Structure 1
Amino acid sequence: MKIIWLILVLNINLIAADFQENLINCLYHIANQINPSSLIFVTSNNLQLQFGEMKTNSPLQVESVYRSNDKEIIDSILQSFHRSSKWPITLLSTGISKQKIVQNLYDLYILITDKRELSEAVKDIEQQTYLTTIGKDSNLRIKYIAIVLHRFEDANVVAKDVLSVLWKLKIINAIVLVPTKHNIFVNNTLSLFGVYTWFPFGSEGRCANVSDAVLLDRWVSYNSKQYFLNVLNALTLFPYKTTRNLNSCPLTVSTFEFEPSVISKREIGDELIYEDGTDVRLLKEIASRMNMKIRYRKPTPDYWGVALKNGSWTGITGEVMTGYSDLAIDNFYNKAHLINGLEYSTVYIIDHLGWWVPCAKRIGRWKSLIKVFDLSFWLGFLATYVAASIFMWIIAKLNSLLGSYQQYIAYKNIIKCFLNFWAIIVEESASNNPTRVPSIRIVFLSWVIYCWCVNTIYQSNLVTFLVSPGYEHQFSTEKEILDSDMLLCMVDTVITCCIPNPDMYPSGRMHTSSSYNICVDTIAKGHNLAFLFNRYHLEYVTLRKYIGSSGRPLICPIAEELSSQLVVMPFTKGSLYLERFNYFITHILEAGIFNHWHDDMKYTATLKTMIGLQIQDEEYIRLSLQHLQSPFLFLILGYLVSLLTFAIEFISGLKKQKKQRSKF
């Protein structure tokens, strides 16, 4: 009896040694094919000796006994990889509450379970997988290998259950190593392990659900050599899960009308449809290439959404995070710094945030005559006129002391000096010729030349200002806006994602709104309001809705950009569609198709808007009374001054006559 037990123990040790060697060789071969940045081994914390618990009459004794000490197998694997010195190695255990590691997309996770019951093995793999995904920075696209140490009757069922657990935690790139029975021979080779994975869209009607496992390859032995039967490489070990043809699987999308990304919403029965938009065109193109059916969710009133205190989000962001939708479109900014529950597509737009203000209003035509020169020039001209008149009066008065009084009578009176010099300004002749005194003639001639130059410049630009007197000052910097008394309007979603320090703006003038349309409409009406929003949307909306009767926009951006934002499509974490979407987005961008869509939509919007406007031809303009408002205004003003002067003189004359009569 003792001899039989000794032989049995020796056979068990040989089988266990062979199993360890076969498993190590298989893992080492896979690691060489993938060449990961590091290896992370994950095990349960209760690996222990279980040989004593087995019954001698168990039919599975020979099949299971080579795992009599599973800890030795894991120790052997770790020692073997450690001796190779090719990869950094990390060991995680499910028994430790907190294990923080910095994940890398090129890591390789190896999950090992020693459970002998299928339900326990699946649960153990689930716990180990959860341990690797609890971090906020966890990357679900890292490669996973799940190893089942126990040999079960149906390896396909084992692989299917393990893959189902991995997919429940959104693990995409995963394979399962399951020991095969020793009596399986393929092409004269001995099968040792089966390598299983799953394809979520393998057949029609099968959409992202694990219904069965697919045997990728077998690790076999032949003439003391071990290798994969089909010579797997890194690509075939972890193939793309999403094919080009998804057999009309539904694609649930969250969005709302937001031009030019998503426009033309209509309902056909219970189905919601968006007919056009840059993002809609992009989505339709990709969905048609992948043979998917788009299903739009009803639009949320919270637009992109805001963060709640419990860490969740409202709006389309919350719908994608919770899995109600597969993705969202609508000029969505990359919020990776705020949200960890999403994955993002390739960037296809770079948007810019900036202030929008009412466009400068046209200056009233009644100001045309005075807008030819700036106020500073008019003040300088007036000062020159006063100084020249006084200077002429002083010169004439000094010369009168040396000569005849009658010779200087036209300029010895300061009022007459002002009147004579004013006559020269309006190109009228002076009432008296200047005397032959050189000093007086020089002053007079200098004033004539000065007025001639000013009048020439003034008259050459007068018609231009009569036709178009120009526009008032246009705000061009954020500093000008903050220094003014304008109200500041911001949308909650923009404050949440894109303004790092909203406290820098004066709180007394801040106005937050949940609807961006209210702010834009208020600015278009010319109210004293500045709105912080994105340019991609408002540039298009301005062309379509906010063009005045003159063909000029009603809302204008300032040139200064506050921030640049990356526009992406958000996906649920671990989405199967992300890689294919990135592939198509990249090719569409490289071909210039997306920019063509955007330019086409802006051009069409401009044409539709301009059709309803009657814009005056700017090449030939017929002057009318409307253009001559300013000359007539000054003419009326001159008549009023003349009438007032005449009335004063007339009343003064009557009073003078009355006084003279009273003396007699």
Structure 2
Amino acid sequence: MSLLVLGLLLPIAMAKLGPETNDNNLSFTNDIVQQLDFGTMMIITFEEPNDELFYMFLQQVHLKGNFATFINVGSNLSTISEGIPDSFFIWTTESESITNTLEKLPSLNYKGRFVILLKKYEYLQQVLIKVQELNIVNIVLLVEQRNLSNIDAYTWYPYVSSEMCGKTEANLKHIAYYSVEIGWKFIQGSLFFPNKMPENLHGCPFKVATFPWPPFVLSSQLIDTVNDNVYANGLEVKLIEEITKTLNLSLSYLPAPPNDIKWGGRTNLNSWNGIIGDVAYGKADAAFASLTTTEERIQYFSPSVSYWSNAVIWVVPRSKYIAGWKGILMIFKPATWALLVVLYLVGSVLLCKVAKLTSNIREYPSFRNLAKCMTLTWASVLEIPINKMPKTQILRIIFFFWIAYCLVISSIYKSSLISFMTEPRLEASIETFHQLLESRLPLGYTVGLAEYFESRIQSSLVYCSDINWCLTYVAHHNNMSLVSDEWYVKYLIPIHFLDGNGISLLEILDEYVISYHVVMILSKGHVLLDRFNIIISRITEGGLLVKWMRDINMNRTLGDAAYSNDEWRRLTLIHLQGPLFLLLFGLGVSFVTLLLEVVCKKRLFCV
């Protein structure tokens, strides 16, 4: 389409341009084309092209061999299917038309090179204000005088001095002028598009919108919401401080968003709120708090390069401790317990049968009676000494192996029991999202996270306005789950969610709801975006972010009351549940036995 339009207009251009006109304006159009001579070009006009300079420019574009896109806008503007243009030449006689176009052009490349030809000086300031609002830096404004006999070239510099920073004033500079007699004459330099970003930005202000969000942004009171704008530490706080220090910018923070809006976004009324809204309305130059890119944010803002990875995860309550009396039985598996019972019965019967078969030597009656023999073997299991040993040699050998077997089993059981008492076991935990659904726990979520789930899951979600309160509820009530930020939860667990033994009260599922790359959000086409990306890339490649995060986590744990696995533990009622249960069970059996003896008026066990 572009080449077709260009081919139709070229014969008209050649017919309209005579040799004399072509020679007079050759240097003017040739120099402009030279500055725009890279990639794809887009030419925009708002009226019927009836200007000889326009056709001269069109001819030079054709001679250079670039693939130029020509769009006759009229009242509507066509989109570009070939891709984002690298340079633009805008031909207009009305300032209002160009300001509307700069806002609505869907394929506008803020990093491209722009040349705008204006017919009157009155349009210059108005267009410049719009250009500054849109952060278009690589631009040349041409103002025509006396029917192309003289043309002045202007541009603007975003950072000239500490008194003229960014968009505070119209930093307009007259860079060149053209006349038919001498051609182009540059006032300083020899380029229409010089490097406009100085190394030293003279302490110009740079405002940031954020809020406390550990470990990325830490206030002086750790995670507590504050109304002031002082941030003591944090991964992204360290990053922005290093960037502004390198560029010599004066860093300041806006107050945290009111009403716990936090990140914010686009509302149903097409307005913006939260820290995103502060950037959208020009209150802040950048925003960060573990932000990521979305299609909407890319359309309206300019994200930086990514510098950290994060994820949205499910947080569930830690499994409950197994009751002490259950733990006594769970030391062995049910099959092992069954085998031990069978071996006890077999051993008792074997001793009794062998005792009955010994006729040459009279054996003790305790070994010849099955009930009494079972009592003796049970006493061996409990490591209770017996006052009589078998008389026969064969019976002594069998009884010796039985005692050795009982000692081994008893040692294994007691060592496991001690381990269980000092380190109580936990019930089976929730490990997958499928198990979470089967557990019937309510599914809590915070602002902005419901969109990541299917519609069938969204209907089951429960909104949580205060993430800290909800995490505390999950940790101490064990009847709710919550989807949250992975690094945020991992940072808070050692501080607020450990029990007396230093074990986490929260568990994080291994399955990610979504993983994403963390970025800063800057205003669309921000003039410092490229400089930010270079510094961020160098810091990331140098491993400084990893070191900063390690230092933040280390400082977090200093002074915490968490116990390590190598330290002694204080026994509580939780640890003593099993022994107390055995004591009560034994006292109960003894009391029943006493009652039976009183009633029957005789001893139950006789030797």
Q: Tell me the residue number matched to 2:8.
A: none
Q: Tell me the residue number matched to 2:556.
A: 605
Q: Distance in 2 between matches of 1:448 and 1:195?
A: 107
SS for the counterpart of 1:273 is coil
Q: Do the aligned residues in 1 keep the contact of 2:85 with 2:112 (CA within 8 Å)? A: yes
Question: What is the 5 A alignment of 1:344-355?
Answer: 344-355=303-314
Question: What is the 5 A alignment of 1:14-413?
Answer: 16-32=21-37, 35-36=38-39, 38-44=40-46, 46-47=47-48, 69-70=50-51, 73-85=53-65, 87-95=66-74, 97=76, 99-102=78-81, 107-113=86-92, 115=93, 120=94, 122-132=95-105, 135=106, 138-148=108-118, 150=119, 159-179=124-144, 194-207=152-165, 208-209=167-168, 211-217=170-176, 232=190, 237-241=193-197, 244-249=200-205, 251-260=206-215, 261-264=217-220, 272-278=228-234, 279-288=236-245, 289-292=247-250, 294-301=252-259, 302-336=261-295, 340-361=299-320, 363=322, 369-370=328-329, 373-376=331-334, 379-386=335-342, 388-389=344-345, 393=349
Q: Do the aligned residues in 2 keep the contact of 1:356 with 1:530 (CA within 8 Å)? A: yes
Could you tell me how far 1:97 is from its partner in structure 2? Answer: 2.6
Question: What is the 5 A alignment of 1:365-514?
Answer: 369-370=328-329, 373-376=331-334, 379-386=335-342, 388-389=344-345, 393=349, 415-416=371-372, 418-428=374-384, 448=403, 450-496=405-451, 499=452, 501-503=453-455, 505=457, 507-508=459-460, 510-514=461-465
Could you tell me how far 1:25 is from its partner in structure 2? Answer: 1.1
Question: What is the 5 A alignment of 1:631-646?
Answer: 631-646=579-594
Q: Tell me the residue number matched to 1:65.
A: none
Task: Please tell me the residue identity of whatever aligns with 1:585.
Answer: I
Q: Distance in 1 between matches of 2:111 and 2:141?
A: 16
Structure 1 pair 563/381, CA: closer, same or farther in 2 (3 Å)? same
Q: Tell me the residue number matched to 1:59.
A: none
Could you tell me how far 1:484 is from its partner in structure 2? Answer: 1.6
- Higher mean C-alpha displacement, 198-207 vs 485-494: 198-207
Structure 1 pair 622/258, CA: closer, same or farther in 2 (3 Å)? closer
Which has the greater radius of gyration? 1
Q: Distance in 2 between matches of 1:80 and 1:624?
A: 89
Q: Do the aligned residues in 2 keep the contact of 1:345 with 1:578 (CA within 8 Å)? A: yes
Q: Do the aligned residues in 1 keep the contact of 2:310 with 2:516 (CA within 8 Å)? A: yes
Could you tell me how far 1:198 is from its partner in structure 2? Answer: 0.3
Structure 1 pair 541/387, CA: closer, same or farther in 2 (3 Å)? closer
Whether 1:533 aligns to 2:484 is yes
Q: Distance in 2 between matches of 1:73 and 1:417?
A: 121
Unmatched segments (≥5 aa) in structure 1: 1-10, 49-68, 185-191, 657-664
Could you tell me how far 1:490 is from its partner in structure 2? Answer: 0.8
Q: Tell me the residue number matched to 2:504.
A: 553
> TM-score, with normalisation over the residues of structure 2?
0.80
Q: Do the aligned residues in 2 keep the contact of 1:111 with 1:129 (CA within 8 Å)? A: no
Could you tell me how far 1:222 is from its partner in structure 2? Answer: 9.0
Q: Do the aligned residues in 2 keep the contact of 1:258 with 1:537 (CA within 8 Å)? A: yes
SS for the counterpart of 1:559 is strand
Task: Please tell me the residue identity of whatever aligns with 2:249.
Answer: N
SS for the counterpart of 1:140 is coil
- Higher mean C-alpha displacement, 386-395 vs 514-523: 386-395
Corresponding residue to 2:494 among 534, 543, 552: 543
Q: Distance in 2 between matches of 1:12 and 1:139?
A: 32
Q: Distance in 1 between matches of 2:148 and 2:484?
A: 70
Could you tell me how far 1:641 is from its partner in structure 2? Answer: 0.8
Could you tell me how far 1:410 is from its partner in structure 2? Answer: 5.8
Could you tell me how far 1:587 is from its partner in structure 2? Answer: 3.7
Q: Distance in 2 between matches of 1:399 and 1:543?
A: 64
Q: Deviations over 1:281-306 (max 9, x none)?
A: 43344344433352514523211125
Q: Distance in 1 between matches of 2:492 and 2:571?
A: 34
Number of aligned pairs?
580
Structure 1 pair 526/82, CA: closer, same or farther in 2 (3 Å)? same
Structure 1 pair 450/139, CA: closer, same or farther in 2 (3 Å)? farther
Q: Distance in 2 between matches of 1:567 and 1:616?
A: 32
* Superposition RMSD in Å: 4.3
SS for the counterpart of 1:330 is strand
Structure 1 pair 199/626, CA: closer, same or farther in 2 (3 Å)? closer
Task: Please tell me the residue identity of whatever aligns with 2:254.
Answer: Y
Structure 1 pair 446/401, CA: closer, same or farther in 2 (3 Å)? closer
Unmatched segments (≥5 aa) in structure 2: 1-15
SS for the counterpart of 1:493 is coil
Task: Please tell me the residue identity of whatever aligns with 1:574.
Answer: G
Q: Distance in 1 between matches of 2:198 and 2:244?
A: 13
Could you tell me how far 1:520 is from its partner in structure 2? Answer: 1.2
SS for the counterpart of 1:561 is strand
Could you tell me how far 1:640 is from its partner in structure 2? Answer: 1.7
Q: Tell me the residue number matched to 1:58.
A: none
Task: Please tell me the residue identity of whatever aligns with 1:635.
Answer: L
Structure 1 pair 226/241, CA: closer, same or farther in 2 (3 Å)? closer
Could you tell me how far 1:637 is from its partner in structure 2? Answer: 1.8
Q: Do the aligned residues in 2 keep the contact of 1:163 with 1:174 (CA within 8 Å)? A: no
Q: Distance in 2 between matches of 1:239 and 1:616?
A: 57
SS for the counterpart of 1:600 is helix
Q: Distance in 2 between matches of 1:542 and 1:639?
A: 43
Structure 1 pair 321/161, CA: closer, same or farther in 2 (3 Å)? closer
Q: Do the aligned residues in 2 keep the contact of 1:272 with 1:295 (CA within 8 Å)? A: no
Q: Distance in 2 between matches of 1:616 and 1:336?
A: 45
Q: Deviations over 1:541-584 (max 9, x none)?
A: 22333343433433332333332222222122132332333343
Q: Deviations over 1:423-482 (max 9, x none)?
A: 3322346788679697x8998677555434322322344443333334444433333322
- Higher mean C-alpha displacement, 204-213 vs 523-532: 204-213
Could you tell me how far 1:197 is from its partner in structure 2? Answer: 1.0
SS for the counterpart of 1:26 is helix
Could you tell me how far 1:412 is from its partner in structure 2? Answer: 7.4
Q: Do the aligned residues in 1 keep the contact of 2:85 with 2:109 (CA within 8 Å)? A: no
Could you tell me how far 1:90 is from its partner in structure 2? Answer: 1.2
SS for the counterpart of 2:448 is helix
Q: Tell me the residue number matched to 1:575.
A: 526
Structure 1 pair 601/592, CA: closer, same or farther in 2 (3 Å)? same
Structure 1 pair 513/258, CA: closer, same or farther in 2 (3 Å)? same
SS for the counterpart of 2:315 is strand
